[in-house]
Structures are given as structure tokens and as C-alpha cells.
Amino acid sequence: IYNIAKYSYSLLAVFDGVPDALAITGGVVKCDYVRERLLAKLKGIRVLLFPGEYEMESLADGAHRVIQGIEEALEY
């Protein structure tokens, strides 16, 4: 929990301002113990929670849209 929060805050230095939100996905969102403690540490950042384990499907869908020319690949 500590390391997730620490890493999340360390990413703020990369942005020119505060990001709109931090999205947390996957099984970590399903675990009440982890979720509540993580949200308590991430004060001051808007957090969006997406429970479920659809990361691979989302990555594949995004790559498919880029290959089809529907979207452009972004660099972060």
C-alpha cells in the first residue's frame, strides 16, 4: 500500500500540473482492506476505481484501434 501510494505521488513530478485523476484498476480495487488504506494515503488526488481484471483486454482493444487507424498511439 505504501509503495503504491509513493509511486503514484512520484508520478506527479512528470506532469506540468496536477492530473485530472488517478485510475486504479484490477483486483486491488476489489480488496476492501487495500482499497480503503490506499485511498486514505492518496489524499488530494482524485481517484477513479475500476474493479475487475480486464487490463489485457483493454490493452488489446487499444492496440487494435491503433492498428485500424481509429486512434493514434500516444507517448507518455
Q: What is the pLDDT of residues 13-67, one digit of tens each?
A: 887 777 889 998 888 888 999 999 999 999 888 999 988 777 788 889 999 999 9
Q: Is pTM, for the whole model, over 0.85?
A: no
DSSP class of residue 51 equals: E
Q: Of 21, 24, 76, 11, nearest to 53 (Cα)?
A: 24
Q: Is 13 exposed, middle or buried (0-12, 13-18, 19+ CB in 10 A)?
A: exposed
